[in-house]
Amino acid sequence: MNKIKMTNPIVEIDGDEMTRVIWEAIKDELINPFIELNTEYYDLSLKNRDLTNDQITIDSAMATKKHKVAVKCATITPNAQRVKEYDLKEMWKSPNGTIRAILDGTVFRKPIVVKGIEPFVRTWKKPITIARHAYGDIYKDVELIADGPGEAYLCFQSINGKEEKIMVHNFKDKGVLLGMHNLDSSIESFARSCFNYALEVKEDLWFGTKDTISKKYDHHFKDLFQEIFDNEYKEKFSDLGIEYFYTLIDDIVARIMRSEGGMIWACKNYDGDVMSDMVASAFGSLAMMTSVLASPEGFYEYEAAHGTVTKHYYQHLKGAKTSTNSMATIFAWSGALRKRGQMDNNLELVSFADKLESTAINTIEEGFMTKDLGLMSTLENVKILDTFEFLKAIRKNLNK
Ligand code: NAP
Ligand code: MG
């Protein structure tokens, strides 16, 4: 068989632990036999990040800007215990945070829907994609404990000398305080990433904030979205027959629960943090959640939403069987290959990505799956496979 050729490379960002193990296995079983894979490889294993003083993370993000498409394996974000375990020079920052800051992107998370794994919400038939703004609000706030009576103010000193000051509260007793901010440039990038993504996948875009209560802060998000939509996207949306819909966040929540799904739900930073966990668990499993970082300039980085599955890795090292579900990582690869194919007008590559996804889904729908799904499946003929047997089952179907 002739392997599919690639003109331009994908940036391949390798990672840690069990996901690093399945990364190799996915390439061996499902990609290398069919494609003459062309990647620019970056090893973001914690050891190598430490060795390069985290320069490798920055390099991988710069390479993504250059080649426009990347696929990333899950990586350890070190904490105190990891610093000890890996004897690190420093507690390096989250690679995802570093890459996101460089690409200025928005993260879109979408569940993989298969027959036999029914969403807990009965009406949901199609996947719901969460787009989370990844800058500011409470994630960059400053906080104070007011430890007795006193006056708290919010104050802005402009560099041109103007000062604005308003009272937050006149405390009669103890209490708490926080100050937070966001940036027009970041909100505008977020809006454009969302509008571009909606055009690309041809789905409606919903956005909600609490603008009735937060008349300046949240209202500003609403206004910037509307302005960008009206000036840059309105016609393109109507040409495709898709819609941009804004309403209050509580109204969105109520409507989402009664909907069939199939839309992109843009969320402010905190709302996205909370709602993506809700959507992921309601659709069944974190192992079935895909994730893509899309920037307004058209850079894409595909990954799985889950972590490095540490517990499984230590079982694997002991030689025990594991039950790591590789679906989200397979879809990260297929997503990146499809995008590469679309950018390079390589129809064979696009069609391979489609086949890889449909074959993986069919394999589960035929009853072959890892334990996480096996425990939830409503199919009658479930056959539970270990990490590597599951990949071999997909390979067998892909050969066909
Ligand atoms: P995790 O790796 O997502 O795993 C948590 C648990 O969820 C696992 O123990 C497993 O449950 C289940 N699970 C997750 N993915 C699965 C899969 N593909 N197949 C089957 N089960 C799966 O989260 P964590 O243990 O909190 O984090 C481990 C490391 O990952 C941390 O060092 C963290 O920094 C890193 N992390 C990285 C990313 C990223 O790179 N994007 C994201 C999150 C976390 P059972 O043990 O019950 O089977
Ligand atoms: Mg969270």
What is the reported pTM? Answer: 0.91
pLDDT of residue 277: 85
Testing ligand 1's pocket by substitution, the residue of 286, 289, 326, 375 carrying the most ligand atoms inside 8 A of its CB is: 286
Specify the pLDDT at position 286: 84
The verdict on the CB of residue 26 being under 6 Å from ligand 1 is no
Single-letter amino acid, residue 85: E
Q: What is the pLDDT of residue 386?
A: 97
Cβ–ligand 1 contact at 77 (below 6 Å): yes
Domain ranges of the chain: 1-117+298-400, 118-140+181-283, 142-179
Model pLDDT, residue 93: 92
d(CA 27, CA 225): 40
Please report which helix (H) or strand (E) contains residue 4, including its range.
none
Instruction: State whether the beta carbon of 372 lies less than 6 angstroms from ligand 1.
Output: yes
- d(C-alpha 203, C-alpha 375), whole Å: 32
Q: Which residues of the chain have pLDDT under 50?
A: none
Q: Residue 324: how many CB atoms within 10 A of its CB?
A: 27
Ligand 1 contact via 325 beta carbon (within 6 Å):
yes
Which ligand places an atom closest to the C-alpha of 291?
1
CATH architecture, domain defined by 118-140+181-283 = 3-Layer(aba) Sandwich (3.40)
**pLDDT value, residue 259:** 97
CATH for the stretch 1-117+298-400: 3.40.718.10
- Give how far Cα 95 sits from Cα of 61, 296, 303, Å: 10, 20, 13
The separation between CA 133 and the C-alpha centre of its own chain, rounded to angstroms, equals 11
Residue 49: CA atoms inside 13 Å, Cβ hemisphere, count?
28
DSSP 213-245: TSTTHHHHHHHHHHHHIIIIIHHHHHHHT--EE
Instruction: Please state, in angstroms and rounded to a whole number, the distance separating the CA atoms of residues 310 and 316.
Output: 10
